Amino acid sequence: EHMGKDIPPKEIKLSPDCELRFEVENSNETVYLELKSGIAEIFGTELVKGKTYTFTTGAKIAVFTWQGCELIVRTKKDTSYIAKETPMMFYLNCHCCLEQLRQKAEDNDTKGPITVIVGPSDVGKSTLSKILLNYAVRMGDSSRRPIFVDLDVGQGHISIPGTIGAMIVERPASVYDGFPQIAPLVYHYGYPGVQQNPKLYDDIVTQMADLVHQRMESSKKVKSSGVIINTIGWVKARGYQHLTHVVQAFKVDIILVLDQERLFNELVRDMPSFVKVALLPKSGGVVERSQTTRAEARNCRVREYFYGTPSNQLHPHMFDVKFSDVKIYQISSPTQADFAPIGTKTDNYVVKLLPEQKMTKILHHILSVSHASSDEEKVNATNIAGFVCVTKVDVDRQLLTLLSPQPKPLPNTILIISDIQFVDNR
Ligand code: ADP
């Protein structure tokens, strides 16, 4: 590739503690970025000097420097700007406090800090998680192995939307593809919002919390490194109850509240005194996303699951399975739960097998491939091996056509329907 060498370069000098921000909005636009001298990072990931980084549609980027640096930017339509005011010093202070607690935990063979990041949507929660995790694995001689937990079912940073995930972070995130994944733990939820099946959400959060605490015991390093939890942006009413449930289930020590003073005060009032609550400013660079942008981002995540990213392309498989060869389960939300007498309000959900005559309902739906070893095992209570997408339902021949990251056969025949849909238009 020409790496934008035909576009005239623009040299940008960044002073210490400043960041260059840009967004790639149009689909035919590309921004090429190179670090010429000095040290710079993108959300905590250090840039390699002389390497050309390519950013395409949807990228919302800040190149920050503690020491000062020179950058070369090539783009047809330059919309980048330099920000002198950033909250990075606050975030670094947070990291230093966490580092002290991790050191103490390592010395005493206890658990490191369990931190949750909360706040309304579009305040940079995911970005702060990334920065803190990157700093933890990057800095100091005894680099840490923290566990990253993502409870944001709307985007799904570890897996795909409609799931929650956890993984041990061993290396910094790639500028494009996030953290390298080593055996992530993923639970099926099935909806892009918590309000769609609140009881199921709380249940899988509890399960995940128990497993995360177990995993912490697996190695001294992981144990003392602690946990960073990213959450949903719903902080009012029932959303607040979900947050306090997260705090209890994970036995959270530290709550970092981004941007919202009201939420901060509520948590200070309601949390037991051994839970530390801190208020942090949001970055002026965080880009607000509309419902459409969010839906597009979700679709993009699912596409990436099957087809990969420009820097890491994948080649999915397509194959048929007989209706009778799979068991497809449906976890109905409370509103669909037909067992409830009319007029009663219930939170509960039902797990049931999808009858063969209803197979056409799941066209274009994502199905989670369960790890459950038998039908007796509760399908909502086991983690997920991967996902397939139903691209065709042939009622006459009793066949489903599936898009799958792996060739036939499926690793397990127990599948769970997700409300998330994906239309494969390749
Ligand atoms: P939240 O998790 O609170 O919804 P995110 O962390 O996902 O918010 O941030 C929203 C978007 O803003 C992301 O696309 C992210 O890349 C972008 N972003 C975050 N911080 C900055 C910044 N300092 N400059 C430019 N873009 C940013």
CA-nearest residue, atom 13 of ligand 1: 60
List 277's β-bridge partners, or say none. 255
**The pLDDT of residue 375:** 66
Amino acid identity of residue 390, one-letter, is V
**The pLDDT of residue 426:** 67
List 19's β-bridge partners, or say none. 64, 83
Pairwise CA distance, residues 197 & 137, whole Å: 35
356 three-state secondary structure: helix
Per residue in 290-300, pLDDT tens? Answer: 888 889 889 99
Shortest CA distance to 129 belongs to which of 103, 104, 165? 165
Pocket of ligand 1 (CB under 6 A): 21, 60, 62, 121-127, 233, 283, 285-287
**The pLDDT of residue 158:** 93
Work out which ligand 1 atom sits closest to the CA atom of 62. Answer: 24
77 three-state secondary structure: coil
CA of 60 to the centre of ligand 1 (A): 7
Q: Using most ligand atoms within 8 A of CB, pick from 127, 230, 256 the residue to mutate for ligand 1.
A: 127
Stretches where the chain sits below pLDDT 70 are 1-2, 140-142, 334-347, 375-377, 426
Pairwise CA distance, residues 215 & 145, whole Å: 12
Q: Are 223 and 179 in contact (CB under 8 A)?
A: no
**Whole-prediction pTM:** 0.94
Per residue in 189-205, pLDDT tens? Answer: 999 999 999 999 999 99
The secondary structure of 376-410 as a DSSP string is: TS-GGGSBEEEEEEEEEEETTTTEEEEEESSPSSP
Work out which ligand 1 atom sits closest to the CA atom of 58. Answer: 14
CA of 409 to the centre of ligand 1 (A): 39
Q: Are strands 52-55 and 81-83 parallel, antiparallel or unpaired?
A: unpaired
**The pLDDT of residue 141:** 59
The region, left, alpha or beta by phi > 0 then psi within -120 to 50, assigned to residue 251 is left
CA-nearest residue, atom 16 of ligand 1: 60
CA-nearest residue, atom 18 of ligand 1: 286
Residue that has been written with the tokens 């991967």 in this structure? 386
CA-nearest residue, atom 25 of ligand 1: 285
DSSP one-letter code for 34: E
Whether ipTM > 0.85 holds is: yes
**The pLDDT of residue 143:** 82
